[in-house]
Amino acid sequence: MKDVTVADVRNFVLLGHSGSGKTTLTDAMLFKMGVNDRQGSVDNGSSMADYTDEEKSRKITIYAKPFSGVHASGGRKTAMVFCDTPGFADFFGQVILAGRIANAAVVVVDANAGVQVGTARGWKQADQLELPRAVVVTGLDRENASFARVLAELQEKWGARCVPVTLPAAGGNGVVDVLSSAAPAPDVAEAVQAAKGSLVELAAETDDTLIEKYLAGEPLSADELAAGLRRAVLERKLVPVFACLPPKGVGIQEFLDGVARLFPSPLDRPIKDAEGRPINPAADAPFVGFIWRMVNDPFIGQLAFLYVCGGTLKPDMDILNATKDQKERIAVLGEFNGKKQGTVESACAGQIVALSKLKFTGLGDTLCAAAHKTLLAPFKFPNPVAWAAIAAKTQGDEDKIGVALQRVAEEDPTIKVERSKDTHEMVLSGMGDTHIAVTVEKMKRRSNVDVTLSTPKVPYKETVTAKGEGHYKHKKQSGGRGQFGEVYLRVDPLPPGETEWFVDAIVGGAIPGNFLPAVQKGLVEGMSRGCVAGYPVVNVRVTVYDGSYHEVDSSEISFKIAGSRAFRDGMSKAKPVLLEPIMTVRVMVPDQFMGDVNGDLSHKRGRIMGMETADGMQVIVAEAPQAELFHYCAELRSMTGGRGTFEMEFNRYEVVPSNVAQKVIAEAEKNKKEEEE
C-alpha cells in the first residue's frame, strides 16, 4: 500500500462460527478491492485465504491470516488491513493471535443459523479485548434465512446498540444503505426509517451539544452525524450491522464504505505497552511493532509477521528486539495476501508486514526503534485440553519428531510437546483432537515423519499402607570368586512431612559401612518398579537393620541385588497399593447441561466439589482421575453441542479403587509378557 496515512487505515479481525462465511467474505473483499482478479472460493479450492493444503482438504480455516487492500470510494482511499480467522474451537489460539492486533472486530453471523457457539465465543473475545465491532449478516440467500430475525436475536443478546447500516433489498440481490440520501424502495422504507432514527439517536448521544440539538428537534449536519457515529462505534455504544451476500459480492462495497466511515483508525485506539501506557500511533513517532504470527515456510524460510503499533518502519532501520534485548536487521518489508506476495517501502500504524531472516525474533516479541525501548505484554493462551502420545512409525525417527514438532510449536503456541518423565512417552497436547490431527499432518508434510497417536499412559505410582518385613540373601558360587550379601529391612509409609526415606539401623557392622551405598542403590532400583504393577514407588521409608557379609565373596553388586530383592519382599508384605493422579476440573456449561455433565463426571469416578456461576455460565468444580479425562474435550463438546469448556490441573495422587486397580494390574502383566516374548 502506497501513500497511506495512519488516519486512513482501518484494521479489523473477522470472528464468528465456523461456516458462517468469514473466508468467503474475505475473498469477496479482496476481489472488490482488486487484490484478486476473480473472486476466490472456498468450495472449489481457489480461495486466496484458505490456501494451505490442510485447509483445502478440510474446507475450513485453520490459520489466522492477514490481508490488505485499498478501498476507493467517493474520491477517498482507505487502506483495509484485516485478518480472517478460524471459527472452530480447536484453533482458538489463532483468534487470540489475530485479536491482539485488531482495532475492531467484524462478527460474521449466518442469516439462517443466527448466533451460534462460535459467534458467542468470538463476541466474548472481542469484549475481553474491548474491541469496537460490527456484525455482518451473510447467507441471505440460504433457505429459511431472515435478516430481521437475526437482527432481533442480536438486539436481544447484545442490546439495541446493534443497528443495521445496510439492509437486504431487491429480493436479496442488493442492499440499501440506511444513511444514503436516495429514497428507499417502498418495501424497505419503514425498516430504513427505523434504523436511521436509531443511528441518529446513538450518534447524538456521544456528545452533549449534539444531544441538546437532537432533543430540540434540530437535524444534525452530515459531518456531525458522521463524527457521532464513529465515536459511538469506538465507544462500543453502536454496533453497525451489515447485510451481505459474499459469494455474489452483494453488499461488499457498502460494507467497505461502512468500515471506512465508521471504524476507528489506529490514531483513535492506541495499543498499550506492557505497563498500560499508550503507544503513540503517529507516523512520526518512534517505531514500535509486535510479532503476532510466525510461519516456517518450506520455500521462503521463516517469516515473522509484524503489526506496526506506532511510528514508521522502513528497511535498514536500527531495530531492537526489546523482548530479547538484541539488535535485528530488516532488509525487506514483505506484504502478503495469502500466497500472493509483494513488498512495501514503509509501514505505519495499523499495517502488517512480513519480515524474513530475523535472527532472534519469535512470536510475541516487540521490535522497536533502538533508541526508544518499548515492550508489549506477552500473549496468554489457554491450557491444553486434549492429549495424545506420539511415537515414530519408523524406528530412529524419534529425533526427527522432536525437531519437526518444535518448528510447528514456534508457529502455534497452543501446541505443546513434552516427554513424560514418568511414562517416558512423548505427549502432544493441544486445543482438541482436530488440532492434534492437523499438527501431525503438517509435520508429516513438512518434515516427512510418520507417527502414530495413542491415548497417553496414566503415570500410575505405587506405595505401601502398612509395615512389611523384607529379607534377601544373595549367594552365588560359580567357580572362582562367589557373590554374597544379605539384607534385612522394614518397609513402611513415609510419615507425612518427612523426606528421609532411608534409615540406617545396622548395629555391630552386620553390613559393613562401605557396602551401604550399594544397598541403597539396590533399594532405589527396587523402588523404580514396584511390586503391584511395576510403577515407581513413592512415599515409603526403608529401614535396613540387619544383614550379613562374607570376607571374600561380598561385593557391591551382591549387596545391590540383595537390597533390591529385599525391598520387593518387604513391599509386597506392606499392603502395597496403586496410586493414580487426580485432577481438579473446572467445567463451564450453560444451565441446561448441568445435569448431564454432573452425571457424566460421577460416571468417571469424579466428585463434585462445588458449583458457581461466572459469565452467565455454570461452573462445576470437580475432582476426577486423569485416567478418565484424556478424551474429555471431545466428550464434553458432544454432550453440550460445543458450548461446554473446561480446564484442568493436577491435584494429587490417590489410591486406585481395587476393581479398577485389578484391570491396571492385568494390563501391566499383559504388557510385561509381550515385552518378554
- d(CA 335, CA 341) in angstroms, rounded, equals 6
Place of cell 508384605: 573
141 or 425: CB nearest ligand GDP: 141
Considering the rule CB under 5 A, would residue 434 count as an interface residue with Mg ion?
no
HSE of 51 in the Cβ direction (CA atoms, 13 Å)?
16
Single-letter amino acid, residue 338: G
**Of these partners, Mg ion, ligand GDP, none, which one is at the site of residue 103 (CB under 5 to 8 Å by kind)?**
none
3-state SS assignment for residue 312: strand
Residue 361 contacts Mg ion per CB under 5 A: no
Q: Looking at beta carbons only, is 176 or 523 nearer to ligand GDP? A: 176
Nearer to Mg ion among residue 14 and residue 178 (C-beta): 14
CA distance 538 to 579: 9
Determine which residue in the list 1, 8, 12, 20 makes contact with ligand GDP, applying CB under 6 A. 20
19 binds ligand GDP (CB under 6 A): yes
Q: Which of ligand GDP, Mg ion, none does 139 bind, CB closer than 5 to 8 A by kind?
A: ligand GDP
C-alpha 413/C-alpha 299 separation (Å) is 22
Provide the b/e sequence for 510-529 (b: ≥16 CB within 10 Å): ebeeebbebbbbbbbbbbee
The reply on whether position 18 binds ligand GDP by CB under 6 A is yes
Out of Mg ion, ligand GDP, none, what residue 16 binds, judged by CB under 5 to 8 A for its kind, is: ligand GDP
Give the residue, chosen from 16, 114, 338, 470, that forms a contact with ligand GDP under the rule CB under 6 A.
Answer: 16
Residue 142 sits in the site that holds ligand GDP (CB under 6 A) = yes
Which H or E element spans position 355?
strand 352-356
Query: Which of 39, 61, 138, 626 forms a contact with Mg ion (CB under 5 A)?
Result: 61
Of 118 and 334, nearer to ligand GDP (C-beta) is: 118
> Segment 62-101, which members bind ligand GDP (CB under 6 A)?
87
CA distance to 280, 361, 362, 612, per residue, from 322 (Å): 17, 10, 11, 41
Beta-carbon contacts of 312 under 8 Å, excluding residues fewer than 6 positions away, are 283, 284, 287, 346, 347, 348
Residues in the chain: 677
The secondary structure of 496-563, three-state, reads CCCCCCEEECCCCCCCCHHHHHHHHHHHHHHHHCCCCCCCCECCEEEEEEEEECCCCCECHHHHHHHH
Q: Contact between 121 and ligand GDP (CB under 6 A)?
A: no
User: CB of residue 49 vs Mg ion: minimum separation in angstroms?
Assistant: 7
Nearest to 459 by CA among 604, 582, 631: 582
| Residue 361 interacts with ligand GDP (CB under 6 A): yes or no | no
- Using the rule CB under 6 A, give the single segment among 128-136, 241-249, 369-377, 590-598 that binds ligand GDP: 241-249
Candidates 134-142, 183-191, 252-260, 339-347: pick the segment binding ligand GDP (CB under 6 A).
134-142
Which of ligand GDP, Mg ion, none has residue 36 at its interface (CB below 5 to 8 Å by kind)? Answer: none
| Percentages of the chain per state (helix, strand, coil), in multiples of 5 | 30, 30, 35
Complex with Mg ion: residue 22 or 261, whichever CB lies closer: 22
Nearest residue (CB) to ligand GDP, 43 versus 500 = 43
Applying the rule CB under 6 A, the residues between 370 and 409 that interact with ligand GDP are none
User: Which residue(s) pair with 337 in the sheet?
Assistant: 340
Q: Is 22 in the site for Mg ion (CB under 5 A)?
A: yes
Cβ proximity of 352 and 66 under 8 Å = yes
The verdict on 468 binding ligand GDP (CB under 6 A) reads no
251 is a contact residue toward ligand GDP (CB under 6 A): no
Other beta carbons within 10 Å of 449: 21
Which option in ligand GDP, Mg ion, none does residue 24 bind, with CB closer than 5 to 8 A by kind?
A: ligand GDP
Binding residues for ligand GDP, rule: CB under 6 A, are 16, 18-24, 42-43, 60-61, 87, 108, 138-139, 141-142, 245-247
